[in-house]
Amino acid sequence: METKKTMKAQTKQMNELEKLYKKESVLRKRYWNMMEDMKGKIRVYCRCRPFAKYEIDRKCQSVVDFPDDVTIKIKQERNDKEFVYDQCFSGTSSQEEVFEDCRRLVQSAMDGYNVCVFAYGQTGSGKTWTMVGKPEIEGCGGLTPRSIDELFLLAEQNKQTTTTKVSCYMIEIYNDNLVDLLYIMSMKEKGKKVRAGSEPRLDIKKDSKGMVVIQGAVVLECPTAERTMTIFDAGNKVRHVGSTKMNAESSRSHLIFAVLVEVYDKQTKKTANGKFSFIDLAGSERAGKTGATADRLKEAMSINKSLSALGNVISALSTNEKFIPYRDNKLTLVMSDSLGGNAKTLMFVNISPADYNCEETLTSLVYASRVKLITNEAKQEKDSAEVRRSECGSE
C-alpha cells in the first residue's frame, strides 16, 4: 500500500516536472527569438577584405576607415561618406569573429525559422571568403562550414530530448535559369553525362507551411557535418561544368545552398521545420569594366535584374507595402520564404579597401543602406506572430 502511494506521488512529481520542462523550453524559445528580433529582422553587416599582395605591390591606397564598430567611412577628395550598419568588420577581422553573431541563427533554424545569410558585393570583395572561406585551413572556414558544425553540435547536445534530421539542396541561378548542382553531381558520380535540356524540370513552389521547395531538385540527406560539407564541396565543383553554362565563371551566378532542419521534440511530440540558406550572390559590378562580349553583357544584365529585384523586394518590405514583388525574379522567388515574414536574414555587404574599387564600393554601400532601412520597421509588426509560431512548432 505504502509503495503504491509512493509510486503515485512519484508519478505526480514526474508529471509536474514534465510540465515545467515544457513551459521552460517554450519560454527559452520565446526569449531567444525575442532577443534576436530586437536586433531586427534583416541585419546588415559590412565586411572589408584586407589588401591583396598585388595591391600592396602596386601601392594602392586605402579609402576605408572604421571610426567605430558600426560605422564605415569612405575617404574621398572632397567629402567623406559615412555609412552605419549593424556591424562593420575591418580587414583584420577573423572568420571566427564574423561567425559569432551568425552562430545564434543556427539555433533559430532549429527552432523552426527560415534563416538566410547572403553576401553581396563586387567580384573579389570577399563574398566567397565570408560564406565558405577555406575550411581545410585552421581558422579559415567561413560561415557555411561553421554553421554546419554548430548545427550538428547542437543536435548532439539535445539528443536526449530531440531528434534532428538534416537534408539539403543546392541550386545555382545563372542567366535566370535554375541549375540543380546536386543532380549534376549525382550524374557525375554515376559516370553519366548531363546533356543540355535533359535535366529534370525545376519549379519553384511553396509547401503547405509556406516553405519554398524546388520541385524536381535533388534533396540529399545529411547525417553528419562531414557528409554535409562533402556534398557542398562536390556541388561547388560542378558549378563550372553545369550543362547550361559551359564557360561561365562562378562569380557570374548566384549560389543557393539550403539546409533543411527538422527537429522532433520527444516531449511535446511536435516537429519544427526550419531552413538555413547560404547564398553567395553573383558579383554586383557593372559590365563595362571587364570588356564585355555579348555573352558577358547578357550575364551582366541578368545579374543586374536579379540584384535590383532583390533590392526592390527589400525596399517594399521596408515600407510595409502589402504587395511584395517576390515574383519579379527567380532569385527573389527562391528567397521569398527567407526575406520578410517570419524569416531571419543576415546580409553581408563585402567591399574592397582599395582606391581603384572606390566607385563599386560606394555603389555596394548605398545598396546595403537601402536594406538597412527596413531593419527597424519590419520588426515591430510581426514580433508576436513570430513568437507564436515558435511556440507551436508545426505538426
Report, in angstroms and rounded to the nearest whole number, the Rg of the chain calculated over CA atoms: 23
Q: Rounded to whole angstroms, how far apart are CA atoms 272 and 261?
A: 8
> CB-wise, 49 or 344, nearer to ligand ADP?
49
With CB under 5 to 8 Å by kind, the binding choice for 125 among ligand ADP, Mg ion, none is ligand ADP
The span from the CA of 54 to the CA of 78, in Å, is 28
Cβ distance to Mg ion smaller for residue 166 or 303: 303
CB of 264 to ligand ADP, least distance (A): 37
Out of 87, 108, 114, 128, which residue is the one contacting ligand ADP (CB under 6 A)? Answer: 128
Looking only at residues 28 through 67 of this chain, which bind ligand ADP when binding is defined by CB under 6 A? 49-50, 52
How far apart CA 279 and CA 335 sit, in angstroms, is 9
Binding partner of 124, given ligand ADP, Mg ion, none, CB within 5-8 angstroms per partner class: ligand ADP
Query: What contacts 88, CB < 8 A, 6 or more positions away?
Result: 45, 46, 47, 48, 66, 69, 70, 71, 72
Based on CB atoms, which residue is closest to Mg ion, 285 or 386? 285
Site string for ligand ADP, 129-168 (x = CB under 6 A): x---------------------------------------
Task: Give the span between the Cα atoms of 49 and 169, in whole angstroms.
Answer: 29
87 sits near ligand ADP (criterion: CB under 6 A) = no
Distance between CA atoms of residues 232 and 143, nearest Å: 13
Q: Which of residues 283-342 bind ligand ADP (CB under 6 A)?
A: 283
Site string for Mg ion, 90-129 (x = CB under 5 A): -------------------------------------xx-
The distance of closest approach from Cβ of residue 82 to ligand ADP in the complex, given in angstroms and rounded to an integer, is 22
Residue nearest Mg ion, CB atom distance: 128
Binding letters toward ligand ADP, positions 233-272, x by CB under 6 A: ------------------x---------------------
According to CB under 6 A, which residues from 158 to 217 bind ligand ADP?
Answer: none
In the complex, the smallest distance separating the C-beta of residue 271 from ligand ADP, rounded to whole angstroms, is 36
| Helix locations, the chain, DSSP H | 2-38, 53-57, 95-110, 127-131, 143-157, 181-189, 225-237, 294-318, 330-334, 358-372, 374-392
- Residues in region 128-147 near Mg ion by CB under 5 A: 128
When the beta carbons of 128 and 342 are compared against Mg ion, the nearer one is 128
Residue 284 contacts Mg ion per CB under 5 A: no
The stretch among 123-131, 149-157, 197-205, 292-300 that binds ligand ADP (CB under 6 A) is 123-131
Q: Which residue has the cell 562536390?
A: 234
What the block records as the C-alpha cell of 282 is 553573383
- Could you tell me if 326 and 340 are in contact, meaning their C-beta atoms sit under 8 angstroms apart? no
- 124 lies in the binding site for ligand ADP (CB under 6 A): yes
CA distance 154 to 291: 48
DSSP three-state, residue 296:
helix
Q: Which amino acid is present at 289? A: K
Q: Is 121 in the site for ligand ADP (CB under 6 A)?
A: yes
Q: In the bound complex, what is the minimum distance in angstroms from residue 255's beta carbon to ligand ADP? A: 10
Q: Is 364 in the site for ligand ADP (CB under 6 A)?
A: no
Q: Does 127 bind ligand ADP (CB under 6 A)?
A: yes
DSSP-derived secondary structure for 20-82: HHHHHHHHHHHHHHHHHHHT-SEEEEEEEPPPPHHHHHTTPPB-EEEEETTEEEE--SS--EE
The count of C-alpha atoms lying within 13 angstroms of the C-alpha of 330, restricted to the half-sphere facing its C-beta, is 20
Total chain residues near ligand ADP (CB under 6 A): 14
Q: Distance between CA 4 and CA 11 in Å, rounded? A: 10
- Residues in touch with ligand ADP (CB under 6 A): 49-50, 52, 121, 123-129, 251, 283, 350
